[in-house]
Amino acid sequence: MAFSVLVFSGEIILSFIFGEIRIKMKIVFLVFLFLSFAQISVAQYYPEAGRIKSYTENASFSASPGNNLEFISDNNINTYWISEDILPEKYIANFDYNCIYIVVNQNITESNANVFDGNLNTKSEISKREIDGKYRFLIPFRTPTQILLSSMKLSVSDTVKVFIETVNRFQFLFNILPSENFKIQTMKLNDYKEIIGISMVSNAPFDVFEIAAMDSYPEVYVEADFGSVLPIGQVYVRNMSGENVIKSSIQISSDRKTWETVANLQPKAISMVPVVLESEVQAQYLRLVHTLNLSDYGKSMIWELKVYDKYGPFGKSEQMALNNKTMRDRIGINGFWGWGFNTYSDNIPIGQGSEKYFKMGNLARSYHNMIWDITKPGESAGYETMKTKGTTAKDWLDWGREYADWKDAGFTIDASIQFQQSTITDSMWKNPFNDSFKYGFEFGSYFGNKTKLIDIVEVGNEPWDYQDELYNRILLGIVSGIKASKSNMQVFPAAFQATFRPNENLESNNYIGSKLDASTLKMIDGINGHFYSHTFNENGMRISVNPENPRSELLGVRNLSNFRNVNLPGKPLIITEFGYDSNGGGEDCDHLECVTENQQAAWGLRAALLLLRNNADIVYWYFFANENRNSVLHSRSGLCSSANTSFQEKISFKVFAEFQEIVGNCILKEVLNEDQQYYSYLFENQTDGSKYIVMWSIKNNDPLVKTNIKYTFPSEPIRINYLDDEKYWIDFTSYNRTQSLSVNGFPSIIQLK
C-alpha cells in the first residue's frame, strides 16, 4: 500500500494505493491538523511533574583542593570532581594535612619559624658547632605522636644523618647527601608510633628549608550546604575512585563544626549507590569524605551526589485511588508468539499456552516485532493476505491466527510493537511521520476494526536508543494512524520512567520528560512503565530486593503516577513489565539479580499488589517462562521453566494462580496497614459482597519465616489461607476481631465474615 499526503488550500488529499486501485479521500484541514505536526492546542505540559528534586539542586558546594566542583551535582553520572594529589609535596603548604606545627615543641617552631611555615623557599641555617664538632638540629615533639610520613628539604655540604626517637628507642632513618640538595625527601614511617622527636646531625653546617609531617591518612572531601537544616534519609552517590582511596564516608553537621559519620561507602563501587540511613537525621551540611593512602599523586573522584528525605527519589506513596476493576482484569502475563513451543498457539497441547497462563489473569501482552511485519519503514505489512502469504517480512506468519487463540482463551491483548536500533535503525526512517502513520493505519484497520483482536497497542517496547525527536515523530505517526483507522484500540507509548533525568542513572535515555512532547501527550491514551525491584548494593552491584525496600526501583511507579496525574489526569498507567529472576523448575539461576524460588513467588505477588496500590491500573508479569539459554538478567524470570525442562511450574505460578482463584473477582478496596512489620490490604467482591484481607510480613528475606502479630480486623475473621502451602484453609478458633496470628513473607488471605 502506497501512501501520500498532499495539501491544497485548506484541504488535504490522502491517497492509498492498493495495486491498481486508488482511493482518494478529502479531509477538512482541521483533521489534518489533528494528524500532523502542525500546532496542536494542548494543556500546559510539565515534563518533570513526577520527579522528586534532590536537595543538592539548590545547595552550594565547597571542597578540598580539586577540579570540576560543578560536576558534583550536574545530573550526569559520567562526569566527576577530582581531588588534587596531596602527596608527595602539596600537603606541605596545607596545614589541614601538615601536622608539624601542632606536634613540634612550640619553642622550636617559634625559633625556627622558616622550617615549619609550609614555604619551601624559606630556610633556617644550622651553623652552630657542638662541642663534639657536629652540627645538630633537634626537633622535640610536644607529646608522643604517631607520624605516618615526614618530608624534608635541605641544602648540605656534607652528609646529614636523620634519626627518629620514640618513647622506647632512638633509630637511624636515612642519609641526605649533597647530591640531593634542594630535593624534597619523604620518608614513610608507617611502623612508628609514639614518636617524641626527630634529629639531624652533620659534620658541616646545613640549611633546612622545610620539615613537614602527616599524622593520619589524608582526607579529601566535597561539602554541600543546603542553606537550612533539612531532614536527610537517603543519599545517592557515585563515588568510584581508584586504588588510592582506602575509605569513604558520608558525614553530616548542623553547625559545620561537629561532624557525624552516618554511613561508610565502598570506594570502588562503580554504580550510583543508594544509601538509606537507619533513621532520618537533621542537618544543613553533608560531606562525602575520601581517605587516601600514602601513594604519591593519589587522587579521588566523586561523580554525582543526590540527597533526599527518608522517602528518597521515589517520594511518598500516594493515597490509593479506588479502581473498580477486579484482580483478574488488573494482573496479566507477558507472552510471545507460540508460548515457547515454536508453533502457532492453536497447535499447542491442551492445558498449555494461552489456556494455562489465563490462570494468571485476563491480560496477555505480546512482543510484536515490527521487523516481523516489514523489512523497512514505508512498506505495507500485508496483514490482509497473511493467511495465505504471510507478512511482507515473514512469508509464514499469520498474526491473526496466533492472536485468535489468545482471544479465544479469554485474554484482553496488548501488542507491544518492538523496534530499536538493532532491528530498525534510525537511518531507515526516511519519512518518519508518513511511514509510521501508514503502519499505524494498517495495524489499526486490521487488528482493530476488522478482527478486533488487539485491545491495547504500545508504540515501542524499550526503544531507548532512539533519539527523542525521532521517537516522538514515530509515536505521533503510529498513534495518528491508529486513531485515523477509527479503531477502538488504546494506544500507549513505550515504557519510560519519571524518576531520573537522562544521564542521572545507568539507563540514561528512558526519562519520560525527554521522550514525550506536548503533541504526543495529547494523542496517547495513557502511559507505560517497566519496574523491576532492583537496586545497587554497597559494592555497586545490581541486586534484587523485596518490593517494599526503600531502595527498590519498583517504587518508581510513584513518580510515573504523579506524572500521569498532572499531565494525563484520568488516563491509565500500565506497568507492562515487572518480575524477578529465580531458580526452579529444574533450572538454575546464578547471576547477581537472582532470588530464590520462594522469593520470586512471595515478592512477585507483593510487587504486583504494591504497583496496583500505587495506582497502576494494570500490571504484566515478565515472563511466562524462562528463556532456553544461560542464566543472565531476565532469562530466569518465568513463572515456569523453559522448553528445555518442559515448562515446569514454579512456586510463583502456583501462588499467582491460587491468589486469582480466591480473590480474582475482587477489587482492591483499601490499604489497611503499611509499616516496617507487615502490610495488609482489603479486597471486596462486588458481586456477593465477600471480603478478604491480604497480609504479609516484610521483616525477613526468607518468605517462609513467620512473624507473630496482633491484629484487629475490620470485621470478624473466619479462616486463613497461607499461599505458601497446598490449597487449604485454616479456620480461626474464635471470631474475635482482634487476633494473635502468624504471617510470613507470602501474602496470606484471610476471609472475613
C-alpha cell at 59: 545547595
DSSP letters spanning 26-63:
EEEHHHHHHHSSS--------TTTTPPPPGGGG-EEEE
Query: What pLDDT, on a 0 to 100 scale, did the predictor assign at position 518?
Result: 95
Closest CA to 699 of 742, 651, 668: 742
- From the list 685, 688, 732, 698, the residue with the least C-alpha distance to 713 is 732
Spatial CA neighbour of 614 closest among 665, 676, 661, 679 = 679
Amino acid identity at 704? L
SS3 per residue for 616-655: CCEEEECCCECCCCCCCCCCCCCCECCHHHCCCECHHHHH
R_g of the chain computed on alpha carbons: 34
* DSSP class per residue in 308-325: E-TTGGG-PPPPPPP--S
> Beta 66-67 vs 60-63: how paired, if at all?
unpaired
C-alpha 188/C-alpha 217 separation (Å) is: 12
Q: Which helix (H) or strand (E) holds 357?
A: helix 353-357
* Contacting residues for 203 by C-beta, under 8 A, at least 6 apart: 133, 134, 135, 158, 159
Q: How far apart are CA 736 and CA 725, in angstroms?
A: 25
Cα 474 to Cα 454: distance, rounded to the nearest angstrom: 20
Backbone angles phi, psi at 472, to 5 degrees: -60, -40
Handedness of CA 24, 30, 31, 36 (dihedral sign): positive
Q: Specify the residue for cell string 495529547.
A: 522
- State how far the Cα of 86 lies from the Cα of 95, in Å rounded to an integer: 12
Which three-class secondary structure state does DSSP give residue 292? strand
Give me 108's grid cell: 622550636
pLDDT at 253: 98
What separation in angstroms does the CA of 29 have from each of 12, 17, 479?
6, 22, 19
How wide is the angle at C-alpha 681 spanned by C-alphas 675 and 686, nearest 5°? 165
Closest CA to 85 of 228, 289, 244, 243: 244
Taking the CA of residue 704 as centre, how many other CA atoms within 13 Å lie in the half-sphere pointing to its CB?
5
DSSP 89-104: TGGGG-TTT--HHHHB
- Three-state helix/strand/coil letters over 113-154: HHHCCCCCCCCEEECCECCCCCEEEEEEEEEEECCCEEEEEE
Which amino acid is present at 638?
A: G
Asked if residues 79 and 67 have their Cβ atoms less than 8 Å apart, the reply is no
Residue 602 is placed in which grid cell?
512471595
pLDDT number for residue 21 = 33
CA distance 264 to 255: 21
| 665: Cβ contacts below 8 Å, ≥ 6 apart | 326, 327, 328, 685, 687
Strand partners, 124: 208
Q: How far is CA 486 from the centre of its chain?
A: 39
Of 702, 583, 593, the residue nearest 640 (C-alpha): 583
In sequence order, the β-bridge partners of residue 274 are 236
Asked if the bond preceding 88 is cis, omega within 30° of 0, the reply is: yes
Integer CA distances (angstroms), 747 to 252, 603, 678, in order? 39, 9, 10
The secondary structure of residue 595, as a DSSP letter, is B
- Strands annotated E in 65-218: 66-67, 81-83, 124-126, 135-145, 149-156, 160-166, 170-176, 184-188, 195-202, 206-214
Distance CA(295)–CA(648), nearest Å, equals: 56
Rounded (5°) CA angle 639-641-644:
155
Q: How many residues does the chain have?
A: 753
Please list the residues that pair with 291 across neighbouring strands: 219, 247
Task: Count CA atoms within 13 Å of residue 674 on its CB side.
Answer: 18
Alpha helices of 590-671 — where are they, by DSSP H?
597-613, 651-663
| Contact present, 225 and 59 (Cβ < 8 Å) | yes
Cα dist from 168 to 105, 149, 165, 192, 311, whole Å: 19, 19, 8, 11, 55
Going by C-alpha positions, the residue among 245, 311, 411 that lies closest to residue 614 is 311
What are the residue ranges in the chain where pLDDT is below 70? 1-43
- Helical residues (DSSP H) of 615-738, grouped into ranges: 651-663
What is the DSSP code string of 505-530?
Answer: SSSTT-BHHHH--HHHHHH-S-EEEE
In terms of Cα–Cα distance, which of 10, 6, 11, 16 is closest to 481? 16
Q: What integer pLDDT is reported at residue 7 of this predicted model?
A: 32
Report pLDDT digits (tens) over 654-687: 999 999 999 999 999 999 999 999 999 999 999 9
Sequence-ordered strand ranges (E) for 377-466: 412-418, 456-459
* H-helix or E-strand spanning residue 720: strand 717-722
The 3-state DSSP class for residue 365 equals: strand
Encode pLDDT of 104-118 as tens digits: 999 999 999 999 999
**Grid coordinates 489465563 are at which residue?**
358
Find the distance separating the first CA and the last CA of the chain, reported in whole Å: 62
Q: How far is CA 220 from the centre of its chain?
A: 28
